[in-house]
Chains A and B, each alone.
Chain A
Amino acid sequence: MLNTADILETIQMIRQENLDIRTVTMGISLFDCVSEDSNRLCEKIYDKITTKAEKLVLTGEAIEKEYGIPIVNKRVSVTPVSLIGGAHSPDTYVQIAKTLDRAADTLGIHFIGGFSALVEKGFTDAARNLVDAIPEALSVTDKVCSSVNVASTKAGINMDAVRLMGKTVKQTALLTKDAGSIGCAKLVVFANVPQDNPFMAGAFHGVGEPECAVNVGVSGPGVVSAAIKRAGDCDLSALADVIKKTAFKITRVGQLVAAEAANRLDVPFGIIDLSLAPTPAVGDSVARILEEMGLSCCGAHGTTAALAMLNDAVKKGGVMASSHVGGLSGAFIPVSEDEGMIAAVSGGCLTIEKLEAMTAVCSVGLDMIAVPGDTSEAVISGIIADEISIGVANTKTTAVRLIPAYGKKEGDTVSFGGLLGYAPVIRLNTASPEKFIARGGRIPAPIHSLKN
C-alpha cells in the first residue's frame, strides 16, 4: 500500500504548489511536404500536422484527468520552415505561417513552433526569405512561434544575422504595436539551439529527429520553493540535496506523462526537458526560489551563485528520473513570465546586466524582457551579440527574446496576457555599438583549449 504521507505530498504539490506538466509538445517532420507549388506545399503542411496531431489535445486531456496532474499546454513543433520552403518568396513564407496558424486552430493547441531558420554560418536564400517574412508572419498569426539560430560554438557567430535580427525584432514590434508588440514575444534568437526543445517560442523539430516524437517539458518552481522553505536554516550542501530530491519527484511525473502520451499517441517518446519554468502566478516563480535560498531580492549580489547551484541541482535530480533528457533543461528566467522577476525589475534590484550574468549559469538567456520602444536596432543587435557570445564561449544554449514595446519607455508596463505575463520596461545602456554591429561578417568559433 502506498504511504499516506507520500500521497498527501503529491496532492499538495499539485493543488497548492502549482506542480504541473508545462507542455506536451509533438514534433512533426515536414520534409515530405516539400513542393514547388506554394498552394500544394501549404496544403500538405496543413494535412500532415492536423493528421499527425489529431488526437494530441484529447490525449493530453485524458491523461490530465486520469493522473490528476494539469498539462498546461499542448503544442506542436515542426521542421524549421526554411528547410522545407525552398526557393519560395517571403510572401509564400507568410502564407506558410498562416497555414501553421490555421492548423494550430484546428487542433486546439496553444502554440506551434518551427517558423525557424538556422543561419549560424550563413544564409541560404530560403533562410533569408524566411527571416524577411518574420515580422509580417508574426503580425498576421496568433499561435506561430519563430526562432533563428545565429551562432554555435563550432561555427562562431554570424554577425550579419545578428544585425538583421536587430532590425527584424524592431520591425516585428512595429507591426504588432497595437498588441503591446506581442509579435516579439514569439520570436527568439538563439546560439547552440537544441533540436528537440518542447518550450516556446524556440521549439522546432530538428533535422536529426524522427518522423514524429513526443517531448515533454516539466515545471514546478513552486514545489522547489516550498521544499526549500520547509528545509529551514540548513547549509547549502543540505539545500542542494533538497532541491535534487524535489527535482527528481517532479521529473518522474514528467517521465510518466511522456511515456503515457507517447504510448497512447503511438509516437516515439523523445525527451524530457528538465526545466524549472515559471508562470506569472504567485507561487510559481524562479526568482522567489532564489529569495527563499536567502537573497533579499532577486538580482542582489549572490544571485548568480544561487542560480548556478539551483540549476545544477535541478539537472542532477532530474537526470536520474528520466530516461532521455534534452531540450533546454535548466532554470528559466523569463522576466514577464515570473512574478518574482517582475517585482525585482520593478523595484530596481534586477537589471539587464545582472540578468545577462545569470544566463551564463542557467538555461536559455535574456528572455521576455521589455525594453524601451525607441531602442535602436544597433543596441538590440548589441544585446543579442553579447548574449549569444556567452552561449558560444561556454558551449551552451543561450537566447534572446526582447520586446521593444512600441511607444513605451522605461518604467512603463507592457501586458501580453496568459502565460506570457506582463513586464516592466527595463533600463538599457543606450551607448551605441552601431559601428561594431555594422561591420558584419563572422566572429570566429572560439578555441577550446587554453581555458581561462
Chain B
Amino acid sequence: MKAVISVTGKDNVGIIAGVSALCAERGANILDITQSVLSEYFAMIMLTDIDALQIPFAQFVDELAAFGRQRGLEIHTMHEDIFNTMHHI
C-alpha cells in the first residue's frame, strides 16, 4: 500500500529532514518527493510505500500530524487511492 504525505505551512529549516527521519524510523519507504516554496509557504508531497510499516497505519498518521503541530505545519497522511479515484478516471 502507498500513502501520500502532504505537508503544508510556513517554511523553516529541516522540514524534509524531520518528516523523512520519522518515515525511516517507522519503516515507510519514500518513493517520490515534490516540494515547493511560494512566498514563504511550504508545500511538500511525499509518496511512500508503507508495506513494511512497523506500527499501525493509524498511529503513523497521528505521529506525523503531531510532528507537524510542533512545527506549525499541517501534515495529512492518506491512502493514495483517495487521490487516484478522485482525479483519474
A contact residues vs B (CB 8 Å cutoff): 1-4, 6-11, 15, 62, 65-69, 249, 252-253, 255-256
For A67, what are the chain B residues with a Cβ–Cβ distance below 8 Å?
78-79, 81-82
B34→A253 contact, CB < 8 A: no
Please give, as numbers and ranges, the residues of chain A lying within 8 Å of B58 by CB-CB distance.
62, 65-66
Residues of A within 8 A of B47 (CB): 1-2
Contact, CB under 8 Å: A10 / B82: yes
User: Does residue B28 face the partner (Cβ distance < 8 Å to A)?
Assistant: no
Count of chain A to chain B residue pairs whose CB atoms are closer than 8 Å in the complex: 66
Neighbouring B residues of A66 by C-beta, 8 Å? 57-58, 78-79
| Closest CB pairs A-B (n = 8) | A68-B78, A6-B87, A65-B58, A256-B85, A67-B82, A252-B85, A249-B86, A67-B79
Q: What is the CB-to-nearest-CB distance from A70 to chain B, in angstroms, rounded to a whole number?
A: 12
CB atoms of B83 and A4 under 8 A apart:
no
Decide yes or no whether B20 CB sits under 8 A from chain A: no
7 extra interchain contacts, Cβ-Cβ under 8 A, other than A2-B45, A7-B83, A10-B86?
A: A1-B34, A8-B43, A66-B79, A68-B61, A68-B77, A68-B79, A69-B78
Q: Using Cβ atoms and an 8 Å threshold, which residues of chain A touch B43? A: 4, 8
Q: Which A residues touch B36, using CB under 8 A?
A: 4
B4 at the interface (CB under 8 A from A): yes
Q: Name the interface size band of chain B.
A: 20 to 34
**B8 located at the interface, meaning its Cβ lies under 8 Å from any Cβ of chain A in the complex:** yes
Chain B residues 34 to 58 lying within 8 A of chain A, measured CB to CB, are 34, 36, 43, 45, 47, 57-58
- Expressed in whole angstroms, the Cα–Cα distance for A8 and B61 within the complex equals 17
Contact at A4–B86, with CB atoms within 8 Å?
Answer: no
Inter-chain contact B45/A4, CB cutoff 8 Å = yes
Taking Cβ atoms with an 8 Å cutoff, the residues of B that contact A are: 4, 6, 8, 32, 34, 36, 43, 45, 47, 57-58, 61, 74, 76-87
**Residue of A whose beta carbon sits closest to that of B82:** A67
**Which of B45, B78, B86 has the most CB atoms of chain A within a 10 A radius of its CB?**
B86
Query: What CA separation (Å) do A10 and B82 show in the bound complex?
Result: 8
Quote the shortest CB–CB distance from A17 to chain B (angstroms): 13
In whole angstroms, how far apart are the Cα atoms of A68 and B4 in the complex?
A: 10
For residue A65, which residue of chain B has the nearest CB? B58
* Given A11-B76, A62-B58, residue A253 in contact with residue B87 (CB < 8 A): no
Also in contact, A3 and B87, with CB within 8 A (given A11-B76, A65-B57, A67-B81): yes
List of A residues within 8 angstroms of B77 by Cβ = 68
Give Cα A252–Cα B87 distance, bound, in whole angstroms: 9
Q: Is B82 within 8 A of A256, CB to CB?
A: yes
Give the docked Cα–Cα distance between A4 and B83 (Å). 10
What are 19 A-B interface contacts by the 8 Å CB criterion? A1-B34, A1-B47, A2-B4, A2-B80, A2-B84, A3-B87, A4-B43, A6-B83, A8-B6, A9-B87, A10-B86, A11-B6, A15-B74, A62-B58, A65-B61, A66-B79, A69-B78, A253-B86, A256-B81
In the complex, the answer to whether B82 meets A69 with C-beta atoms within 8 Å is yes
